[in-house]
Amino acid sequence: MTPRYGLFDVDCLEMNEQGDGLTFRPRVVPIIPLLGQLYHFGEAHNAPFVFCTCCSGSMPQPGVFEDVLHIPLDKSKQNWCAQVPDFRRFYLEKITYGDPKENAACRAFDVLGTNANGQKLFSLLKVDTWIVFGNGFDYCVGSAVKAMLAAGHKVILPQDVRISSAGGTPQSEEQTLAEMRAAGATITTLADILAGIEA
């Protein structure tokens, strides 16, 4: 049966200092209550949950979490594909160059442009509609949403569950929102999404 909804958390989570769990990126503190509502929704509805970590953050390594399927950057690595039905949570590995300027210049923020297995994961999950949210709106979230729409996925964006990109402005965010709408994304609020789902 095709899952009605899936969640794509862009860069809100990273490894904690102990290296044994996930924690929130410091920049997302203002939206933690909203993230909690989304995570609770995902668990309650057994919705697939895909996440990635900021290229300046502490990234999970393969095998750290037994309940998370690690999706590698390398297209030649395909062993993960057969395991997709056994998992609800999926970590999309993200490239990093170790320097913010180089990350930006090389588009490390664009996880679906740099992870050669990313689009295949979304195809295998066969979700009807993806709820996409997160950190680094103009770059990280924006590139993910545009790539998903270009691949034919339905996307809902709760515009209140977002954190600006470093250097982002209200004008740049409005431009990003306009581009998402033009590409076919549904732009709304988390409250309206949850109310519509429960109705």
Domain spans in the chain, listed from the N-terminal domain onward: 5-198
Burial class (CB in 10 A: 0-12, 13-18, 19+), 89: middle
Looking at residue 133, its pLDDT comes to 98
CATH number, domain 5-198: 3.40.50.850
CA geometry: angle at 135 spanning 118 and 189, to 5°?
100
pLDDT tens digit sequence for 148-189: 999 999 999 999 999 998 878 889 999 999 999 999 999 999
With contact defined as beta carbons under 8 Å apart, do 183 and 146 qualify?
yes
pTM of structure:
0.95
Burial class (CB in 10 A: 0-12, 13-18, 19+), 24: middle
pLDDT tens digit sequence for 3-62: 699 999 999 999 999 988 999 999 999 999 999 999 999 999 999 999 999 999 999 989
